[in-house]
Structure 1
């Protein structure tokens, strides 16, 4: 089961790489949507139209997106849904002409960033296809995250 969901996460990562709301949204079961929490957004979306607005906003901002998932675990909750944990490494380059929702120049325009998150995702199978119904990204606490960043950067230079 975890292998199937790892493949779904890889396909979801490829969809994000296309920077197309409709392609990403096709992974979601809208009629059973539960939640979406991105690390950079201060709220938990509980209605799918809010997720669509978030994704459309990303289309205006992103030049490129790369996601990679590892350590995928099916946490084995009872019932037909599957709760999956994974590590996510992400990299985003922002468009040179990126503007925020108010039309102002986006503060990261023309820049790139990346990082690591823990992800919990909720999946349901319909007609032999898996669909997302929930998503939560969480980085480690700042002191742990920064220490890990320093160690990873040092390891890259060895």
Structure 2
């Protein structure tokens, strides 16, 4: 999927789970975290075929992203208890939010024709369900509208 769709989905999920704690900032944090798996594009491979093959590899693995969600939840929980104890940052809720934002990224990519290596490093064929176009305004625009309304109206 395109980066805008991934950011909007991340914003919607983190806003849903952490909106009462983080307020409107949860939308920004979720948008940033939702695009994180695509940062593997900065890695240069030998040729365009390798670039296409290895993009959506380790950075889109449910195993790697679950570990990253655990690490982020622990770190934010520790920082939250130390610096913002009144906010109510608790490990289970943080893990749920971060895990949902991170895991839905490769799952959404798996719905495209290009697919993704959900179970890297296991030698499975990349998952590709070919149900959604790479840029799909029918999916993105209503979700974007909801996120914008939440951003302007505020999260309660």
Regarding TM over 0.5, the answer is: no
- TM-score, length-scaled by structure 1: 0.26
- Structure scoring higher RCO (CA < 8 A, sep ≥ 6) equals 2
- TM-score, length-scaled by structure 2: 0.27
Structure with greater proportional strand content: 1
Structure with greater proportional helix content: 2
